Amino acid sequence: MANPYLDTQIRTASPVALVAQLYDAALRHVEAARRHHEGGCVRERGEAISRALAIVGELRSSLDFENGADLARRLEELYVYASERLFEANRRDATAELDAAVAVLAPLRDAWHELAARPATELGG
């Protein structure tokens, strides 16, 4: 990795903290897409949305339907909705769609950060 601090942060983070970091990154890319939209940078907006979509896709692919089927199904529905909003934001050049994706992802990010702040013994680790 090009950033040694980030490399250390990722390698030493708990799995819960890593998920929280993925949400942070997705939301950073959505905000970058908004800035690029405002600046009229179409290519950069599309790249930022693509990065956010890739992260949401990674979160979705990591769902454990065997050990938490109900929660996994609910999260999958939210990820599908957020992905659809991001696709539409790119297709229609609509910031309202970015807002809709943030409205789904930000509370999930906050919840994961709350979990990451708990002692490992409280999380069963």
Is the dihedral angle over the CA atoms 82, 34, 52, 116 positive or is it negative? negative
Beta strands per DSSP E along the chain: none
Q: Where are the domains of the chain?
A: 15-117
Residue type, 75: L
How many C-alpha atoms does 8 have within 13 Å on its Cβ side? 3
Q: How far, in Å, are 14, 19, 76, 117, 118 from residue 121 at the CA level?
A: 12, 18, 27, 11, 8
pTM for the model stands at 0.86
* Model pLDDT, residue 64: 94
Regarding the domain with residue range 15-117, which homologous superfamily does it belong to in the CATH classification?
A: Flagellar protein FliS (1.20.120.340)
Burial environment of residue 38 by CB neighbours within 10 A (0 to 12, 13 to 18, 19 or more): exposed
Phi, psi of 49 (to 5 degrees): -65, -40
**Per-residue confidence of the chain (125 residues) as pLDDT tens digits?**
567 755 666 666 788 999 999 999 999 999 999 999 999 999 999 999 999 999 999 999 999 999 999 999 999 999 999 999 999 999 998 899 999 999 999 999 999 999 999 886 666 55
